Amino acid sequence: MHLYRSLNEFIEKRTFSAAPPVVTVGSFDGVHLGHQYLMNELIEWAGELEASPLVITFHTHPRTFMTGEEIKRITPIEQKLVLLRELGIREVLLLDFDEGVRDTTAFDFCREFLIDGLKAQGLLIGHNNRIGKGREGTPESLQAFGKEVGFAVRIAEKVEVGGLPISSSAIRDHIESGDFLWSRKMLGRPYGILSTVAKGKQLGRTIGFPTINLSLSGICHPPLGVYGVRVELLPDSGDPDAAPERYIGAANIGLRPTVEDAKEPLLEVHLIDYEGDCYGRLARVIFHFKLRDEEKFAGLDALKAQLASDVAETRRRFDAASESGRMPGV
C-alpha cells in the first residue's frame, strides 16, 4: 500500500503510476459493509477509467475535532489501513483534520485539492456523507457542482442490514453493549481489535497464564469481562501477503482488581497453546463470546483456578463449534 501524509507528499512521491486517481473521502471508521460496498464501487470505477482508486481519510475523527468530544474508534489507523488493503485499496492519503480542513468549503476542496492538487478524475461519495465547511457539501450539491466544472461525482447507494441503515455510530453502540451478533452483521466480519502487543508487568507468567497486552486507549470496546477470542499474530516480516499465526484465547478486558485496581481498562489475552515472544507485533483479537464478568478474587490462588476454568471452557466452546460447523458464540 502507498501511504501519503500530505498533498505535497502525494505530488512528490507518486511516481509509480501516471494515471490520475478517482477519489473517495471520509472517516470510514469500522470499514463496515457500507464502506466495503463503496470501496468496491471505487475500484470498479477506477478500472473503467484505467485510474487508481485513492482513499482520503483522517488521523483524528472529524467529530472529535469539531466537538472536542473523543469519539472512540472502532478501527484505529493501523487497523483501518490493514482492512483497506485487504479490500484492494493500494493508495491512501492520510490527513490531519485541522482548522484548515474544517474551514475549507466543499467546493474549494473539490476545486483546489481534488482537481488542481490531485488531478483526480472523479469523486465517489457516500449517500449520507457531507464534506466541507459547515458540512455544506451534500452528495446532491457536489454532483451539481461537478456538472458545472466537468468533474465526475458519483453517489454510492445506501446499504442496510435487516432493514436498518448501517452506521459507525450504531456499530459502536452494539460493541459497547457486547452485542457481537449485530456488530458482525454490520461490519460484515466478526468484531475485532488490532493493536501492537506491548510489554506488561508479566504477572500472568508467574501463575502459569502468560498474556499479551494491548492498549485500549481511544478504542471502542466491549464491556469489562472475560471473552473467548481468536487471535491472529500478523507477520513481522514486512510481507503483507504472509499468513498470520492463528490461536484461540481467553481475553480479559478489565481493571485487574485482584492485583492492582487500574484506572484504565487493558486488553489481556492468554493465547492457548502458544509459546514465544511477540512483543511489538500487530495482533488482531476477534471476539466471539463472553464467558463472565470481571471479578475481584480473594488472592492469586483463586484467580489462577478461575483462569484455568476460563481456558478450559474457551477450548470446549471452540471445539464444539468446530465439530458442528458453526461460528463460536452463535
Domains of the chain, first to last:
2-161 (3.40.50.620), 190-324 (2.40.30.30)
Please, which residues have CB within 8 angstroms of residue 78's CB and are 6 or more apart in sequence?
194, 195, 196, 282
Helix or strand (DSSP H, E) at 307 = helix 300-324
What the block records as the C-alpha cell of 76 is: 484505529
Residue 16: is its pLDDT beyond 70? no
What the block records as the C-alpha cell of 156 is: 454510492
- The CA distance from 254 to 265, in Å, is 5
Spatial contact of 253 and 225, defined as CB atoms under 8 Å apart: yes
77-93 mean pLDDT:
94
- The CA distance from 98 to 105, in Å, is 14
Mean predicted lDDT score pLDDT of the chain:
91
- Position 134 scores a pLDDT of 86
Helix or strand (DSSP H, E) at 285 = strand 282-292
221-227 mean pLDDT:
97
The pTM assigned to this predicted structure is 0.89
248 phi, psi to nearest 5 deg? -100, 160
Residue 288: is its pLDDT beyond 80? yes
- Residue pLDDT, tens place only, 120-163: 999 999 998 999 888 899 999 999 999 999 999 999 999 999 89
What the block records as the C-alpha cell of 146 is: 461537478
Q: What is the DSSP string of 70-82?
A: ---BSS-HHHHHH
- The CA distance from 85 to 82, in Å, is 5
- The CA distance from 108 to 237, in Å, is 42
- The CA distance from 45 to 166, in Å, is 23
- The CA distance from 187 to 191, in Å, is 7
Q: What confidence tier does 257 reach under pLDDT thresholds 50, 70, 90? A: confident
The amino acid at residue 26 is: G
- Position 38 scores a pLDDT of 97
Q: What confidence tier does 240 reach under pLDDT thresholds 50, 70, 90? A: low
Q: What confidence tier does 169 reach under pLDDT thresholds 50, 70, 90? A: very high
- Position 48 scores a pLDDT of 95
Spatial contact of 240 and 85, defined as CB atoms under 8 Å apart: yes
User: Which pairing describes strands 152-155 and 160-161: parallel, antiparallel, or unpaired?
Assistant: unpaired
- Residue pLDDT, tens place only, 108-127: 999 999 999 999 999 999 99
